[in-house]
Structure 1
Amino acid sequence: MNIGKSLNIGPATMVAAAFIGPGTVVTANLAGAQFGYALLWALLFAIVASIILQEMSARLGIVTGQGLGENIRETFRQPLARILAIALVVSAIVVGNAAYQSGNIAGASLGLDALVSATGHYQLSFRPWPLIIAAVACALLWRGEYRIIEGALVSLVILMSLAFLATLAITRPDLPALFKGLLIPSIPSGAALTVIALIGTTVVPYNLFLHSSSVGKKWRGPEHLPQARRDIYFSIPLGGLISIAIVATAASAFFAKQIALSGAADIARSLQPLFGHSAQYFLGIGLFAAGISSALTAPLAAAYALSGILGMKPELKSTGFRLVWLTILITGTLVATLEFRPVRLIWFAQVANGLLLPIVTGFLLWEMNSARLGQFRNSRVQNLLGLLVLLATLTLGGRSLMSAFGWL
């Protein structure tokens, strides 16, 4: 039975699979360990903002039959403007994805490490996980079959959901504190950069390119907009729920007991004495699923973005498309094999994502008011919501930068 087909979900599940990667696991754990439940409101905002922007992205892809990259290329015909747009996409999306990919593969490896070490038979002198994970991702992407990739990602998101929600249940969070953190915004001292990191790890700029390009593989024509919206309303909140579960788990396991969280490995190891072997198994499965799902979507998003903006054929089996995602995958695998896995680097990547978000949001809003969309252009309400997201991210990003430079 095809789960994605029976629930009529798919492209938005890619978005959820992309933003629930090791970067999210690390950032959400740091947020919970350092600030408890206080920053959950930032995740709630990010979920709502993601729904707003991904709906626009899906509408753009379905109505025009083209991704965000291709639409930007058509809009900016003046040579200098086009060069600047191409430079933005290539540097921010493609080069950035190569860096994120190493964290994705390393995170999936960490999950396998946790599972194997939990069995008590961990004697490997060489860690083969990055190569195995890269081979699995390469095989799925090389097949070039959208339904196979979609089905794999739907399964991984469901697996992540079960793993992290089960871990949350084991940790028994403080429910009144959890709901207070969700509904009452506050920024404790030193938390400004973590707020923008939480937003940046959920509302991921490259997802706007990925969604607008991939949605046309499942649905064609404006008559399918209701199905695309149902897909978004199911998948994005589910992904957000996983992030909330990770923060709440860390708040219960680390913040409430004043245990320091110094590295990604501590996330799995520190839960074992507190909650038994079951938490380590659940978290290991969740980390593996998070890493391998993002290891699929990051190269795919880079290929869609670059193909669209450069006017190449954005087809899964085309040579240029394969060359882009293969370059991203190989680069990430090489770095992960060298065990270059600093937690702070992953965290700062999410901060950079959050700071980049207003720029890509501005591009999207511009395209959503294009005459090419006809009656499906943004309404006043949709523009207002988009502008509110843009202003909020600009404000939070500005505050984060000022905090980083000691101006607050």
Structure 2
Amino acid sequence: MTTASVAGASFGYALLWALLFSVIATAVLQEMSARLGLVTRQGLAQALRDTFSGRWYGTVAVILVVAAVGFGNAAYEAGNITGAALGLQGLSGVDGWIWSLLVGGASGALLFSGRYKMIEGVLVVLVLLMSTVFLLTFIMVRPSLAEFFGGMLRPTLPEGSLLTAIALIGTTVVPYNLFLHSSAVQEKWPASEGLDRSLRAARVDTGVSIGLGGLITLAIMSTAAAAFFGSNMEITAANIAVQLEPLLGSASRYFFAIGLFAAGLSSAVAAPLAAAYAVSGALGWQADLASWRFRSIWLAVLLCGTFFAVIGTKPLTAILFAQAANGFLLPICAIFLLLMVNRKAAMGGHCNGLASNLLGAVVVAVTLGLGGLKLYQVLF
């Protein structure tokens, strides 16, 4: 919500191409991740460890997974907690650092209890309600079709937009989801359901979810562009809800705050859990919710994220940075996934075809190119 709002407010419709690319990339990579999990009955991290075990580059792969997912999620977690705290601050007026501390504590309590599912439904309803409001507002603001399709089909990088473009990709194609999804599909579709049936169901599930998510992000970018771009009004934590005023008027502030809190808290629980599954798999540890090793991983991620949220990093800056970190880490995770789904010995007749490999290579090339360009700008 925050990254898409910043993208639309700062650059109008110019970065819609990055969103379109992100949606396609997410669909391609998540399908591979689900296929790997259902065919091998292993998560991505576990498959990497088993494949490269005993080789020198196996150790390098494990280190990269721990760095990419463990440390990457720590940065991402700061944005999650900051987002949830930002929503609560908007409702109460209480300082954000206090809410960050409470959100971090609440997330830890939910993870320790293992009862997050009890409130997950409520959070999902709140996020879907917020998404519906954005879609209705998008219809009301009626963006210019020429600018809209121009931004979507003509890739450009306006001055100062590169980090935002990387962040937009990072918030859509979330690297840790590749590890989480390959494990989650095994629980949702057990081996007893049959492989072909499970693969079909997983593809439909992935397509619907990603398509809906892309549509919502598109609406958020467009409403922010209509409200802020070209108005000489800078988007801040205090006025970010202005984009919903065409539909909600003065109530937009409260509605946006509730949605931001729900999205932030749900992600603040999911990110440490995903990191724990990925790192445990890479290190060969048992992925048991009651295991002290498993708990130590998600606790480290949660504490790190809470610390950076509490010390007072600017809310929008923290969230944007977290998503940009995801964008930089994405090609590493995508390369690992491509290696795994091309293993004939494990995947059999379900290995990647030429089209899937080409699409995967494009994703890696684009994300590496954007990341490399940003590093060049920083260094030179």
Task: Name the TM-score, length of structure 1 as normaliser.
Answer: 0.83
Instruction: Tell me: CA distance 1:149–1:219, structure 2 relative to 1, closer, same or farther (3 Å).
Output: farther
1:211-226 superposed matches below 5 A: 211-221=181-191, 222=195, 223-226=197-200
2:298 to 325, 341, 345: 325
1:47 to 11, 14, 23: 23
Q: Which moved more, 1:45-54 or 1:308-317?
A: 308-317
2:175 to 205, 220, 223: 205
Instruction: Tell me: CA distance 1:273–1:171, structure 2 relative to 1, closer, same or farther (3 Å).
Output: closer
2:320 to 333, 341, 347: 347
Q: Which moved more, 1:389-398 or 1:66-75?
A: 389-398
- 1:352-395: CA deviations, max 9, x gaps? 32222112111100000112111111122211221122222223
1:395 and 2:369 aligned? yes
Letter in 1 for 2:353: S
1:362-381 superposed matches below 5 A: 362-370=335-343, 371-381=345-355
The Cα shift of 1:54 comes to 0.4
1:251 to 212, 225, 244: 225
Instruction: Tell me: CA distance 1:149–1:232, structure 2 relative to 1, closer, same or farther (3 Å).
Output: farther
Local SS of the residue matching 2:231: coil
Q: Which moved more, 1:216-225 or 1:131-140?
A: 131-140
Q: Which moved more, 1:74-83 or 1:170-179?
A: 170-179
Q: Tell me what 2:251 maps to.
A: 278
1:91 and 2:67 aligned? yes
Paired with 2:329 and 2:111, the residues of 1 have a C-alpha distance of: 27
1:107 and 2:83 aligned? yes
Name the % identity: 52
The Cα shift of 1:62 comes to 1.4
2:264 to 275, 291, 298: 291
- 1:67-98: CA deviations, max 9, x gaps? 11101101112342122112111222112212
Letter in 2 for 1:327: A
Local SS of the residue matching 1:291: helix
Q: Which moved more, 1:267-276 or 1:72-81?
A: 267-276
Paired with 2:330 and 2:301, the residues of 1 have a C-alpha distance of: 21
How many residues matched? 375
Q: Which moved more, 1:164-173 or 1:329-338?
A: 164-173
Q: Tell me what 1:137 maps to.
A: 107
Paired with 1:179 and 1:280, the residues of 2 have a C-alpha distance of: 30
The Cα shift of 1:46 comes to 0.3
CA contact 1:165–1:245 (8 Å) conserved in 2: yes
1:338 to 311, 336, 352: 311
The Cα shift of 1:274 comes to 11
Letter in 2 for 1:44: L
The Cα shift of 1:189 comes to 3.0
Q: Tell me what 1:11 maps to.
A: none
Q: Tell me what 2:333 maps to.
A: 360
Q: Tell me what 1:58 maps to.
A: 34
Paired with 2:318 and 2:97, the residues of 1 have a C-alpha distance of: 21
Letter in 2 for 1:49: A
2:163 to 193, 199, 210: 193
Q: Tell me what 1:18 maps to.
A: none
The Cα shift of 1:327 comes to 2.5
- 1:253-302: CA deviations, max 9, x gaps? 110423122x3333137876997312212321221122112102111111
Instruction: Tell me: CA distance 1:333–1:190, structure 2 relative to 1, closer, same or farther (3 Å).
Output: closer
Instruction: Tell me: CA distance 1:254–1:51, structure 2 relative to 1, closer, same or farther (3 Å).
Output: same
Paired with 1:251 and 1:278, the residues of 2 have a C-alpha distance of: 20
1:308-323 superposed matches below 5 A: 308-323=281-296
| RMSD (Å) for aligned C-alpha atoms | 2.7
Paired with 2:136 and 2:267, the residues of 1 have a C-alpha distance of: 21
Q: Tell me what 2:125 maps to.
A: 155
2:209 to 226, 230, 235: 235
Paired with 1:388 and 1:127, the residues of 2 have a C-alpha distance of: 41
Local SS of the residue matching 1:257: coil
Please, which runs of 5 or more residues in structure 2 have no aligned partner? none
Please, which runs of 5 or more residues in structure 1 have no aligned partner? 1-24, 117-121
CA contact 2:137–2:246 (8 Å) conserved in 1: no
Paired with 2:132 and 2:84, the residues of 1 have a C-alpha distance of: 16
CA contact 1:68–1:209 (8 Å) conserved in 2: yes
